[in-house]
Amino acid sequence: MALDRPVPLNSLGLPKAPSETRVVVAMSGGVDSSVVAAQLAEEGYDVVGVTLQLYDHGAALAKKGACCAGRDIHDARRVAETMGFPHYVLDYENTFREAVIDEFADSYLAGATPVPCIRCNERVKFKDLLNTARDLDADCMATGHYIQRKMGPQGAELHCAADAARDQSYFLFSTTQEQLDFLRFPLGHLASKAETRALAAKYGLPVADKPDSQDICFVPNGDYAAVIEKLRPGAADPGEIVDIDGNVLGEHRGVIHYTIGQRRGLGIGGLADPLYVVKLDPDTRRVIVGPKDLLSTRTVPVREINWLGDAPLTSRTEWEVEVKIRSTRPPRPAMIRPITDTTAEITLMTPEDGVSPGQACVFYASEGSRVLGGGWIHRG
């Protein structure tokens, strides 16, 4: 009697034929997720495209340069029609407002600098949408993010994208191990965005030349303050600009217009040395300014840690890693000193300027491309 041979893994790492593998593709309407859906459809997978409507359609229709607006829903649908797979639009407006927009506004009012795209991935796309994918009997969910999922000795690992210029690991640090087991990122190995656009042209997709989104999707033209003032009336109340000794130097037009490290636009010229925003105090509506050296930080308190290392975070007293405290900055050597499973103190080997509460601190292995998770910077 012939022995049963193991079924070879398909391109998504599953022991099934592509035609028997259902993949839900999160489609934003942009070129990246469209290429993922088209590529998997061409390979013979049972593709189901899903697009989230995240905020008011009427307001979105006239807005370009952001994901999930009315135009983008239309574009995602056209791609599905071109490639011949089903496409659904899910109304996630209430979820998005409660899980992302409200916290964004409240964080800004508290003097923090939030990163809503991370919360959207964490609370909407990789939680609610992923659960929807399971409800649709999907074997996995694929996205157009530039990040890599690799199999290691202890299971799926998160790694930076091959193209450092497109890497989105900073925005995906909160992906849990359970989510990582179910997710796939087919674009993470590509060397450049030009390769993605070439694939879009190859498949004849109507979005092949569509520009990349730039803004946060619910913040038109990058004007955070205008959105927050609309969400939280009175948020732009004026107050005092003071130095570190409390001396009043001028008046500001609302704490929400300022960020830690800001130098320009303070309206307090005529000083011998430039001053920078070193602290925001929303309770007293004060913007505190000081010399640049006050911005330098070596100790960063972090909470809500998502740890993706092989051993538990608290299994060591310290971890030698590299960390990123802004999406636009390269990783720098640091030491993680765990306090609990979800809190730690990060010591930067070289001081950084402008470390701001509300930003993410993302952990990377000292060698190689592995992402070890991260947490949220808060006031110590």
The residues annotated as belonging to the active site are 120, 217
Three-state SS at 134: helix
Please tell me the distance from the alpha carbon of residue 112 to that of residue 280, in angstroms, as a whole number: 8
At position 24, the amino acid (one-letter code) is: V
- Cα 326-330-336 angle, rounded to 5 deg: 75
Cα–Cα distance list, 115 to 111, 125, 172 (Å)? 13, 15, 11
Are 104 and 123 in contact by the 8 Å Cβ rule? The answer is no
Contact 298, 271 (CB under 8 A): no
Across the chain, which distance is largest between two alpha carbons, in Å?
A: 92
Residues in contact with 183: Cβ distance below 8 Å, sequence separation at least 6, in sequence order:
126, 130, 140, 141, 142, 143, 149, 175
Separation between Cα atoms, residue 140 and residue 178, nearest integer Å: 12
Q: What tokens were used for 260?
A: 């830690």
CA dist 188 and 157 (Å) reads: 13
Torsion, Cα 361 365 370 373, to 10 degrees, reads -30
The three-class DSSP label of residue 70 is helix
What contacts 81, CB < 8 A, 6 or more positions away?
87
> Is residue 370 within 8 Å of 158, Cβ to Cβ?
yes
Distance from C-alpha of 52 to C-alpha of 89, rounded to nearest angstrom: 6
Phi, psi dihedral angles at 262 (to 5 degrees): -70, 140
What does the alpha-carbon distance between residue 35 and residue 48 come to, in Å, rounded to a whole number?
A: 14
Joined together, the tokens standing for residue 173 give 């640090």
Q: Looking up tokens 């499973």, which residue turns up?
A: 341
